[in-house]
Chains A and B, each alone.
Chain A
């Protein structure tokens, strides 16, 4: 599979994601933020974490209006798989491809830790090797990971089975312990934890290897 890895100014998990794709026996290709891309040229797209455009204005806001995201939207509208990790999740929310928004952590502190997670609803694209309700561990590193959506939107998300991953112990005040989310069509995914940082035992865990 050819997987596009998007790079913005300030993205800092791009090389790790590139390597995660290679380690999972797929072919990674870079996608540059100022360029549109041919939606037929890749099989899926990953938006890595970091601080795109310095997190100016709101995290993910500027990146979500960039040229590459117009192609990502077009790609997603065709029902093809998109994954946003950490800042990538924030960008997908800001672009409207996922509902809701990620706010500053309840504690107002940047949290860098390992968390236990559970798969709430499965899908056919990402982390499908992890059974529903099975617990696993990944690292988080974010200042703005508190998921928020208005009550009616949140109810819709739950009713339609769009909660992908949840925290076993909520670290940031996220509504309904949401750590990962999918769109209604279940082809666009966002999660705050970093699977690409849990690929080898020397990293502290290998559960990230179950994602692609």
Chain B
């Protein structure tokens, strides 16, 4: 099974990467309100059960992929 984990900076946080990209896009006359930059991780699992695999992805995310102080995450199944 293939999974995607999307990790984004919390809204309240000053996202300096997003702000830099946003400024560059605006300087080049693109129409946008705001830009935020996060991270996307793809993971393939070997478990037979979808529930068990999802649980394992959740554990991996909480173990190292995201930092709850500054980020939020969402998990999606990619090969369904």
Please report A residues at the B interface, Cβ cutoff 8 Å. 57-58, 61-62, 65, 94, 100-101, 103-108, 146, 148-150, 173
Contact = CB atoms under 8 A, between A and B. Distances in A.
Interface of B: 13-14, 16-17, 19-20, 39, 63-65, 67, 69-70
Given A106-B16, A108-B17, A108-B20, A101 B69 contact: yes
A136 B17 CA distance: 32
Nearest to B17: A104
Contacts of A146: 16
A149 B17 CA distance: 19
B64 A101 contact: no
A104 B70 CA distance: 12
A150 B69 contact: yes
B69 A148 contact: yes
30 contacts: A57-B39, A57-B64, A57-B65, A61-B64, A61-B67, A62-B64, A65-B63, A94-B67, A100-B69, A101-B67, A101-B69, A101-B70, A103-B13, A103-B14, A103-B16, A103-B70, A104-B16, A104-B17, A105-B16, A106-B14, A107-B16, A108-B19, A108-B20, A146-B16, A148-B13, A148-B69, A148-B70, A149-B69, A150-B69, A173-B14
